[in-house]
Chain A
């Protein structure tokens, strides 16, 4: 019969149409909220989702997985009296590995001795050039540069980020990437313990 295929196809769209409403109604009847709740968003990103499962951005947003990466930031540890202990040692690996070359570091020198000290005076990331590949965070030996989760950075000006905008506390890092933070923290502690053990085992250096 001519038109059978069309009707068959229409049954799919028809089912989809009703699925959206039955889904909404069944959620309503069970007293749960399908929209604007974490549970609802999670359900709409699972295999069970039926009908239309649009997430109503920006009122509700998809839950970002931990590994989500956007323009990186610099981590500092909160020292005593709110002192910012920047983890970065300005070794320059991030700038070297960056594919679009959007990282610019100015190393600092001790004003008295002129010797380099392991902290950057200036650190720039051109967020307009950054391709969010995550290499800088991946290959940083000090976990000093981490990919951010903050993605809505549209602005009227160029987004060249300096230290003032890049520096974020370790607590923020822990907040957005708990698992990575735990892993890194354990590694750092192990490294420190190993260093301390080595220093203790080494006999006192002979006076020269």
Chain B
């Protein structure tokens, strides 16, 4: 039968596109034959603002990149500027940083699972279950940093304030008692559900070769069978001291992309358990608090394994109070380049799920 191709425009105000993302899909019947991601609706000149700001002033702006993981973003920026300044980080602060970064990974992956189900049509129940646990983690962030999402907690050389004892107790409670049980509960709720499994199993997301070709990082890459995790491949902070496995799955289908998030939550909890046990006493910053940090001329590139993939900062200083060049390499933005490859040949009904698998956040993607 002779058919015409049809162009379907999804977004920028589609409920499943995780923000203001637009995709122009070309369809042949139900099959996707072309896809053009249109980004930039949330562009707010982050990199340029970063050159106007002083080094310290950039810290709260990095919160607003991937607003689910402001602690991770802070960490990425802090280690980059610390590299440039060539200063040590206080021992206790290193542990606090790891605790915070891993907690944000746990809540990010939980919300990912909830939101994935939201995209697949299981409206609200899994998402709200995930949000319950996230709420308890955000309570911790609020108590240590003062804000639930825009934490602005790290400073060059350490963190801004110590964890109060009652919050430390709360972290221990969550890490040892509550979160492992809740992760299992999430698994019980979904992993064997026949409707869910038949929707996910065998639907290709991306194979290892394509993923590497398109610089895809993070859980999507690891689900395709490439055990590449910066915490192991290029250890930053103190990750080389902890005993954990790089979660990896072989098939690269949607089911594996979902399961790897659960694996990563479990590994994060393992790291957290060790971190809260080993955390030493001591000062929380190696530097004196200063609103104008002195950064020598030079350039630095720092990268971390953020929950969404490799998050990197490139900072060039010419000795002035503000960076001469400030560039962010966000995981979401680089991962989205692979979207067309992922979607061609699949049915349009799977597009929403595939986009959900990439776990994009528009704050980070458009900057």
Contact = CB atoms under 8 A, between A and B. Distances in A.
Interface in A120-147: 131-135, 138-139, 147
A68 B147 CA distance: 6
Contacts of A68: 142, 146-147
Interface stretch (B25-33, B55-63, B309-317, B352-360): B55-63
Interface stretch (A31-39, A45-53, A186-194, A199-207): A45-53
A93 interface: yes
A193 B55 CA distance: 35
A177 to B, nearest CB: 11
A13 B59 CA distance: 40
B192 A5 contact: yes
Nearest to A133: B60
A65 B190 CA distance: 35
A99 interface: yes
B170 A47 contact: yes
Nearest to A136: B291
B194 interface: yes
Nearest to B142: A65
B189 to A, nearest CB: 4
Given A3-B194, A5-B193, A45-B136, A12 B60 contact: no
Interface residues of B, dominant DSSP: helix
A107 interface: no
Contact of A138 (B160, B189, B196): B160
Contacts of A134: 146, 152
A6 B199 CA distance: 14
Contacts, number: 91
A25 to B, nearest CB: 20
Contact of A9 (B139, B167, B188): B188
A69 to B, nearest CB: 4
Q: Which of A2, A13, A69, A99 is the most central at the interface, judged by chain B CB atoms within 10 Å of its CB? A: A99
Contact of B178 (A6, A47, A96): A47
B150 to A, nearest CB: 7
Contact of B291 (A8, A67, A93): A93
Nearest to A62: B139
A97 B125 CA distance: 43
A133 B150 contact: yes
A182 B136 CA distance: 28
Contacts of A45: 135-136, 139
B177 interface: yes
B56 A131 contact: no
Contact of A67 (B56, B60, B161, B289): B161
Contacts of A67: 142-146, 161
Given A47-B178, A65-B142, A138-B289, A13 B152 contact: no
A4 B60 CA distance: 48
B147 A132 contact: yes
Interface in A170-184: none
Contacts of A64: 142
B67 to A, nearest CB: 12
B185 interface: yes
Interface residues of A, number: 35
A47 B173 contact: yes
Contacts of A13: 125, 189
A4 B291 contact: no
Contact of A133 (B54, B144, B152, B178): B152
Interface in A12-29: 12-13, 16
Contact of A99 (B60, B189, B289): B60
Contact of B194 (A2, A132, A139): A2
A147 B146 contact: yes
A69 B178 CA distance: 28
Contacts of A132: 147, 150
Contacts of B189: 9, 12-13
B197 interface: yes
B173 A97 contact: no
Contacts of B61: 99
Contacts of A53: 132
A62 B145 CA distance: 16
25 contacts: A5-B192, A5-B196, A6-B193, A11-B188, A13-B189, A45-B135, A46-B170, A46-B173, A47-B174, A47-B177, A53-B132, A64-B142, A66-B143, A67-B142, A67-B161, A69-B146, A99-B53, A99-B57, A99-B60, A133-B59, A134-B146, A134-B152, A135-B291, A138-B289, A139-B291
Closest 6 CB pairs of A and B: A5-B192, A133-B60, A69-B146, A65-B143, A99-B57, A47-B173
Interface of B: 53-54, 56-61, 125, 129, 132, 135-136, 139, 142-147, 150, 152, 160-161, 167, 170, 173-174, 177-178, 185, 188-197, 289, 291
Given A5-B194, A5-B197, A6-B195, 14 more contacts: A6-B194, A8-B188, A8-B193, A9-B193, A65-B146, A67-B146, A68-B147, A97-B56, A97-B57, A133-B59, A133-B60, A135-B57, A139-B289, A139-B291
